[in-house]
Structure 1
């Protein structure tokens, strides 16, 4: 079974989920962020916990550092953080707080030379957040779509010392309709770094389909809040 990384998305220190990245679809989850970290840390299949600062992604700066420090301290697994990470100072602060990995999205996609430099300064610590609508890259908390394709983006980052790539198909995110297995598999075949699937994962069957395509891990959002998901593994 591929690695499972449950997602905890944060707005105003609350555990929420969005559908297709639309902030107007915000839905509160049943557990607080701390309760969610405790629950996921008890699952033996979980190898990492995925935290996203949604306001940080939108406002281009961290908004939940105090809460994330509490979650890092409480987690029984390595934690990765994304949302609003656009400077080396922020990278250092999060790593000093104990974050295991950091996800660089818009800043790295628009300034690949900067991401290459940062990845060499912090080898094996930075993940590329490759969010897309189909194969077109999305930016700024998914509010903008670029003409660049995900495959072109990988080429531009040649030489980076990344920990991996997280591919999110926005059209699948939060819909519980299954991941984009075909596109994620194509990306895994094209990438020199491990590729993680994000968006739409519902069950162990989805995880097995991704694994067959060479995908190394999956981020699970809404489904991870259900008992049915864990029973399906």
Structure 2
């Protein structure tokens, strides 16, 4: 059984580390004015993979918080996955050359699936697809717009092209500490062969324990944000739980 990975999230807005509620840019809480310092703290705590999102970039359709990402890449030695505003091959290439381990393509997965396939084939194992869903339907443009396409339908477009992972976010739970939507995430994981990472709502150690149950055996991990920042999730306990899985 593959190890479960806990990804601490750093969401970037105006160069700061923030958390949103349900993807609403007007409902942002600043948790650290120095994202690189925050990244270093996560690495020191023992996390072994970072999840970064350029929130401004997701709305603009191009990288906006590149300077903050650059500083994070200079600060940490653990792998980093990055999403937000990555809509063309030149941007994919540039981030991977800078040291990002894995790029996350979200809006492009709906609007330009051929580009996503090409990126995954060009960079096998280094492209993830972000599926941010509201009532099972994928939202795009930083969640500002909803599509009519079910998440599982989009996921199946990318079978066997080298996609490293699917990141499934339940928008209704994101940033609200309501707990992961494991039912929907597991349903997606069972419908495709691509590893699936759960996102949105992780609130406590109980959510981490749920990731380690037999029914969740196909999940590759989960992203945690607000629960870490506000102290609801003890990083040492969570990482020890995951480490003891085997």
Q: Give me the TM-score of the superposition, normalised by structure 1.
A: 0.95
Indicate conservation of the 8 Å contact 1:172/1:178, yes or no. yes
2:7 equivalent in structure 1: 5
1:136 equivalent in structure 2: 137
Structure 1 pair 30/89, CA: closer, same or farther in 2 (3 Å)?
closer
Q: Gaps (5+ residues) in structure 1?
A: none
**Given the alignment of the two structures, is residue 95 of structure 1 paired with residue 99 of structure 2, yes or no?**
no
Select which of 21, 41, 44 maps to 2:43: 41
1:222 equivalent in structure 2: 226
2:29 equivalent in structure 1: 27
CA-CA distance at 1:31 after TM superposition = 5.5
Instruction: Supply the distance in 1 between the matched residues of 2:36 and 2:93 (Cα, whole angstroms).
Output: 23
Three-state SS of the structure 1 residue aligned to 2:17 is: strand
1:80 equivalent in structure 2: 81
CA-CA distance at 1:30 after TM superposition = 4.1
Instruction: Supply the distance in 2 between the matched residues of 1:113 and 1:68 (Cα, whole angstroms).
Output: 27
1:171 equivalent in structure 2: 172
Instruction: Supply the distance in 2 between the matched residues of 1:111 and 1:210 (Cα, whole angstroms).
Output: 32
Return 151-160 or 190-199, whichever deviates more. Answer: 151-160
Indicate conservation of the 8 Å contact 2:59/2:85, yes or no. yes
Return 129-138 or 204-213, whichever deviates more. Answer: 204-213
Indicate conservation of the 8 Å contact 1:203/1:232, yes or no. no
Three-state SS of the structure 2 residue aligned to 1:131 is: strand
Indicate conservation of the 8 Å contact 1:116/1:159, yes or no. no
Structure 1 pair 132/105, CA: closer, same or farther in 2 (3 Å)?
same
Instruction: Supply the distance in 2 between the matched residues of 1:30 and 1:163 (Cα, whole angstroms).
Output: 30
Q: How many residues align?
A: 232
Indicate conservation of the 8 Å contact 1:115/1:160, yes or no. no
Instruction: Supply the distance in 2 between the matched residues of 1:189 and 1:42 (Cα, whole angstroms).
Output: 34
Please give the root-mean-square deviation of Cα atoms over the aligned residues, in Å. 1.4
Q: Once the two structures are superposed, what CA deviation does each residue of 1:119-173 show, in whole Å capped at 9, x if it has no partner?
A: 0000000000010012101111001111110111122223321110000000000
Q: Once the two structures are superposed, what CA deviation does each residue of 1:95-115 show, in whole Å capped at 9, x if it has no partner?
A: 111011100010122221221
Structure 1 pair 178/191, CA: closer, same or farther in 2 (3 Å)?
same
Return 223-232 or 31-40, whichever deviates more. Answer: 223-232
Instruction: Supply the distance in 2 between the matched residues of 1:36 and 1:16 (Cα, whole angstroms).
Output: 11
Return 66-75 or 170-179, whichever deviates more. Answer: 66-75
Instruction: Supply the distance in 2 between the matched residues of 1:40 and 1:103 (Cα, whole angstroms).
Output: 20
Q: Give me the TM-score of the superposition, normalised by structure 2.
A: 0.90
